[in-house]
Structure 1
Amino acid sequence: MAVTRSSRLAGWLAAAGTAAARVVLAAVGALAVAALPASAQTTLTIQHPLPLNSHYGAGASAFKDAFERLTDGRYRVVVQRNDNEREMMESLQIGTLDFSVSSTGPVGNFVPESKNLDVPFLFRDTAHARGVLDGDIGNEILAAFERRGLTGVIWLENGFRHLTNSRRPVVTPDDIKGLKIRTMENQVHMRAFETLGALPTPMTFSEIITALQQGTVDGQENPITVIVSNNLDQVQKYLSLTGHVYSPAVLVAAPATVARFSAADRAAMIEAARAAQTANRDRVSADEATGVAELRRRGMSVVTDIDRAKFEAALAPAYAVYAKELDGNLIARIRAAAPSQ
């Protein structure tokens, strides 16, 4: 039986024809767990940390709709909000959650290989970032999830991260000095802000609004999509389009959930994941096209003239540490990679 199942799985992989599918399904095959038939209306849950009307919500909803349709309604997918990304990763590892959409910031604490993606000013632009993540490098990092008790399914995105604060416009690296900045629980991000003279303060996303209102922190950094969808303009005066880090997101599955799927259901999962990727990226592109004007309309002061070269020069000490602590060869490959077509 195992030989027959492996043969069928190999045949499906050949038909799937994507590296992402091979990453997910090769790891599933190694589990050697018999697929269990899904009962009518088996319920699965996907969580993400943002409002439903956001780029994460767009991706999760597209996954839900596609997976339910492709499996002829045998599965019901419930979309939930959970601001605690660390908790989501832990739930996936123990199998109490089926899927999540998360930024790579907290994921780096579970899959160290993903930290390489968080190096400041690593990606030239969105086309470069998507080309890396959709190619061999992205699939190599997805494969690393399985070694950590997780299944990386497909790359989504947040977009480029920018800085907001309530104290002053940030135009040069010196303007950041002394600011208390909320960051994700990510040592790569924290080191960058420390190097620039800020006081990074890691906290979960659910704590941001209260911390900004109470002055616990002066500012935070997030993509335009997150700033707009969470109305951060109500608690922040200044936005600087620093674009200091490209922020990927990732659709992650619980290995225990994937192992229960039949080969056909795993194929449906991959196709639904592609639908999620398209919906998510389309929403990011739309929000970035209109978001800055919307934030200006809401009253934010926006600094657009940022000298990237000055920020990179100021981060030289951090780059020296990254070269030792991260995968220098992988970082070089990312820098040299071609953009998506």
Structure 2
Amino acid sequence: MPILVSGRLCAALVASLFVSTAASAQVQDRTLKFGYSTFEAHPLGQGANKFVELVGQKSGGKIKMKVYPATQLGSETQTISATQGGVQDIVGTSTAPLVGLVKEYAIFDFPFLFSNEKEADAVVDGPVGQTLLAKLSDKNLVGLCFFENGFRHVTNSKRPITTAADVEGLKIRTMQNPVYIDAFKTLGANAVPMPWPEVYTALESGAIDAQENPYGIIYVNKLNEVQKYVSVTKHAYSPWAMIMSKKLWDKLSPEEQKIFVDSCNEAKTYQRQVSRAEDAKIISELKAKGMAINELSPEETAKIKAKLQPVIDKYAPSVGEELVRQAQTSIAGTH
């Protein structure tokens, strides 16, 4: 009997070793190029580093990534294009620049679509998010998962924004995205689409008065040096898409593909936790650095939202009524 058990153990060990070796054979040594727009200290950068770490662990150290943060490889639009062409392997990007490739991504630009992070998670991790990631395939890209950039707020050098009227006349930088441009024009601002690397200098010189971004972007880019006021508008929520070149994806084994998807999904949970924990700290830091932070009342938020409804009505047909319905269903499911 001991010999039989030993034999079974031996057979099990051999089988385990065979499976392990077979899986290992499907993972090749690779060094990949991964670029994104934020600094490594930002929660997105921390999430990106966690993703790199997890891919390394799950591949047994075979898959390595050279990371290029802080627009070292170009603007988001440029790095998306480079990833499409296979010049860059992986990109982390805001979803707004993707609208030029897949019009349905404009759903994330709808003003006041989400009230809180729970609603946002339900949409990006649910059927809407999966549909949007899948749509990148026709554009030579593969969507892996969504990180969180966060709720966006307006900063400016002129005045606190407490009503819709306070937005009027501000020269505000927006992303190169039609929904954002139309939304701020509707509020009476002079919307100036501009690549992110140019924004600090434009604010410093007075070429523009304002910009809009989540707290983390405001903080790590030291916008307190060129902006006085932060108005907590929460006018939009920005996911951050993790995307791979389809040229690379098609060369990967199923085992390698699984490593990237699993690593992204683990890293997104970590990244969102970091993002949400740091917001409160960042608000205190920005105040300490001299920024004046004000909240909008629920009544004024409702007025601004109503004023922007025509923008949503304009873009809803191109996004697709079914996708909008799915988003609304996911949001309703959180209550």
Picking from 209, 215, 220, the partner of 1:224 is 215
Match of 2:301 in 1: 308
1:147 counterpart SS class: helix
| 1:212 aligned to which of 186, 203, 207 | 203
Q: Say whether residues 1:183 and 2:174 are aligned partners.
A: yes
Structure 2: gaps of 5 or more residues: 1-24
**Unmatched 5+ residue regions in structure 1?**
1-35
Secondary structure at the counterpart of residue 87 of structure 2 = coil
**Structure 1 residue 340 displacement after superposition:** 5.9
Counterpart position of 1:173: 164
Whether 2:114 is the aligned partner of 1:123: answer yes
Distance 1:124 1:94 in 2: 37
Structure 2 counterparts to residues 246-265 of structure 1, below 5 A? 246-265=237-256
Q: 1:55 to 1:340 in 2, by over 3 A?
A: farther
Q: CA deviation at 1:37?
A: 6.3
Secondary structure, counterpart of 1:260 in structure 2 = coil
Residue 103 (structure 2) aligns with: 112
Residues 340 and 230 of structure 1: CA distance in aligned 2, closer, same or farther (over 3 Å): farther
In the alignment of these two chains, the number of paired residues is 305
Three-state SS of the structure 1 residue aligned to 2:100 is coil
Q: Paired residue for 1:14?
A: none
Root-mean-square deviation over aligned CA pairs: 1.7
Question: Please, which of 138, 144, 147 is the counterpart of residue 153 of structure 1?
Answer: 144
Matched with 2:236 is: 245
Matching residue of 2:66: 78
Distance 2:273 2:35 in 1: 20
Q: Find the aligned partners of 1:166 and 1:131 in 2 and give their Cα distance.
A: 35
2:27, 2:256 within 8 Å by CA — same for their partners in 1? no
Deviates more, 1:256-265 or 1:125-134: 256-265
Give the deviation of 1:327 after TM superposition: 2.1
Q: TM-score, normalised by structure 2?
A: 0.87
Q: Which moved more, 1:323-332 or 1:204-213?
A: 323-332
Other-structure match for 1:61? 49
**In 1, Cα distance between equivalents of 2:110 and 2:53:** 34
**2:224 matches 1:233:** yes
Residues 1:293 and 1:316: Cα distance change in structure 2 (over 3 Å): same
Q: Distance in 2 between matches of 1:207 and 1:52?
A: 19
Contact 1:103–1:157 under 8 Å retained in 2: no
Q: Deviations over 1:274-305 (max 9, x none)?
A: 23212321221022122212111110011113
The question of whether the paired residues in 1 share the 8 Å contact of 2:136 and 2:142 is answered with yes
For the 8 Å contact 1:123–1:335, the answer to whether it is kept is no
TM norm structure 1: 0.86
Q: Is the 8 A contact 1:46 1:60 kept in 2?
A: no
Contact kept? 1:59, 1:275, Cα under 8 Å: no
Report the Cα offset of residue 315 of structure 1.
1.2
